[in-house]
């Protein structure tokens, strides 16, 4: 058998499948071995197992590899997304249920030949950006186990980073599809809300939830996007958005105000951001700056305003009827939403609508670049201050879904050894093609530079 690389991509696997130098069962067996070897990292809730995967492997014989873009491609599923016949826990054992059918995104992926490996660990009920709020254990960072993995899509990101999936599904309400990408050296693709169906997904804030993908390359995320994108009649939040066609934007912008960084690696993050800015200026010479204060104003509404009540509306009944089943930190956050009245909700909706109108003017035909994370911490530091540290992680992510933006988190130069640093490209919902064009241009520059220096 050909030795599998540490990090897997669709292109590499398909090339070997087409040459018949590798078969999917060999890949699955190696992933099962890798998952067992890293069990202490708490990546999986339902770990890769041949009994789970075999039926999907057997179906490949009836599928044409040429017409199935994900034929034999292993993927991981965040455990708030349904997979037929496998418990969905959302990170809470007492909440678990057995879905009769897979979520729409999972169904579309398996129909294209993708192989579900298992269900990954997460911050309970997708409430958190740290990856430490799980009764199934804290998910370790893929590169430095003392550091947080980021969340809430913790296990999904680390599964990809540790070569246990080619891509993984996450969800994103406040940054859960982007923060773990940055902290584990991955690409995190967050499409426009509604472009991917969310039926069969345990809601956090249903009105702004989004299914996302992690991978080792932008191209892999876009292959997944092409398979998953499209209107879904079973999903009341689904919308019809056109297929992506990358187009380089006429204008790239950076925040006018110098970003702030926190935590034990603040200086390293600042230096990495400065280097990233220098690269952006080389790729996009006409780069300008924008006053992003309106985005900060929008971000504050998510957790300081009544949107937290949407989480309580979905989960409050369970919390009340199952005392002791929910982690203390998760329950505290959820309960902070039970005191908002209808008037405060409508007041916030009206305020948000005005902010969205200003954002549309600000980002018209523009792609904005910001740091993905303001810092990172050790898992011990987060234990000492679970809410404060989590809040800091969302500094440059919380605004995105509320303001109806699409985003892609990509890697830049490392801040230090085994300490990746990421930037995020943002665009208006209707400008996903500009987002793709900008990220692809930056990725090409980074790839060319890497080839030159190595």
Pairing label, strands 366-371, 251-255: parallel
| 3-state SS record for 159-185 | HHHCCCCCEEEEEECCCCCCHHHHHCC
- CA 64, CA 14: separation in Å to the nearest integer? 12
Q: Which residue carries 């080839």 as its tokens?
A: 451
Tell me the catalytic residues. 78, 152, 176
Q: Which residues pair with 86 in a beta bridge?
A: 83
- CA 132, CA 122: separation in Å to the nearest integer? 8
In the β-sheet with 115-120, what is the strand arrangement from edge to edge?
44-46, 115-120, 74-78, 167-172, 210-215, 187-190, 405-411, 422-428, 366-371, 251-255, 288-290
């Amino acid at each position: 058998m050909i030795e599998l690389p540490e990090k897997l991509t669709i292109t590499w696997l398909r090339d070997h499948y087409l040459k018949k130098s590798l078969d999917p069962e060999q890949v699955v067996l190696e992933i099962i071995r890798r998952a067992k070897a890293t069990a202490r990292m708490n990546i999986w809730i339902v770990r890769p197992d041949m009994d789970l995967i075999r039926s999907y492997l057997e179906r490949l014989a009836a599928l044409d590899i040429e017409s199935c873009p994900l034929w034999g491609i292993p993927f991981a599923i965040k455990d708030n997304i349904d997979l037929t016949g496998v418990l969905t826990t959302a990170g809470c054992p007492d909440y678990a249920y057995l879905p009769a059918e897979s979520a729409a995104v999972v169904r579309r992926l398996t129909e294209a030949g993708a192989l579900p490996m298992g269900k990954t660990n997460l911050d309970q009920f997708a409430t958190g950006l740290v990856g430490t709020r799980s009764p199934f254990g804290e998910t370790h960072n893929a590169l430095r186990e003392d550091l947080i993995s980021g969340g809430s899509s913790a296990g999904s990101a680390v599964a990809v980073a540790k070569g246990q999936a080619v891509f993984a599904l996450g969800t994103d309400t406040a940054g859960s599809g982007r923060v773990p990408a940055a902290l584990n050296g991955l690409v995190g693709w967050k499409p426009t809300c509604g472009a991917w169906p969310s039926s069969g997904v345990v809601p956090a804030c249903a009105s702004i939830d989004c299914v996302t993908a992690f991978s080792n390359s932008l191209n892999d995320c876009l292959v997944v996007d092409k398979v998953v994108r499209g209107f879904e009649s079973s999903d009341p939040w689904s919308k019809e958005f056109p297929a992506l066609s990358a187009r380089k934007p006429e204008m790239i912008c950076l925040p006018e105000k110098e970003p702030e960084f926190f935590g034990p690696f603040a200086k390293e993050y600042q230096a990495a951001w400065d280097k990233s800015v220098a690269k952006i200026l080389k790729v996009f010479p006409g780069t300008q700056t924008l006053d992003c204060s309106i985005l900060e104003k929008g971000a504050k509404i998510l957790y300081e305003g009544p949107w937290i009540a949407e989480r309580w509306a979905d989960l409050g009944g369970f919390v009340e009827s199952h005392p002791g089943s929910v982690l203390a930190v998760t329950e505290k956050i959820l309960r902070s939403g039970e005191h908002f009245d209808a008037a405060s909700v409508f007041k916030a909706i009206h305020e948000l609508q005005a902010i969205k109108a200003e954002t549309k003017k600000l980002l018209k035909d523009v792609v904005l670049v910001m740091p993905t994370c303001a810092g990172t911490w050790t898992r011990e530091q987060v234990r000492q201050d679970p809410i404060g540290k989590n809040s800091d992680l969302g500094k440059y992510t919380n605004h995105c879904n509320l303001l109806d933006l699409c985003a892609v988190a990509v890697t830049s130069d490392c801040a230090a050894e085994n300490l990746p640093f990421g930037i995020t490209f943002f665009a208006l919902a209707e400008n996903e093609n500009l987002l793709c064009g900008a990220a692809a241009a930056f990725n090409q520059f980074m790839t060319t530079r890497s080839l030159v220096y190595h």
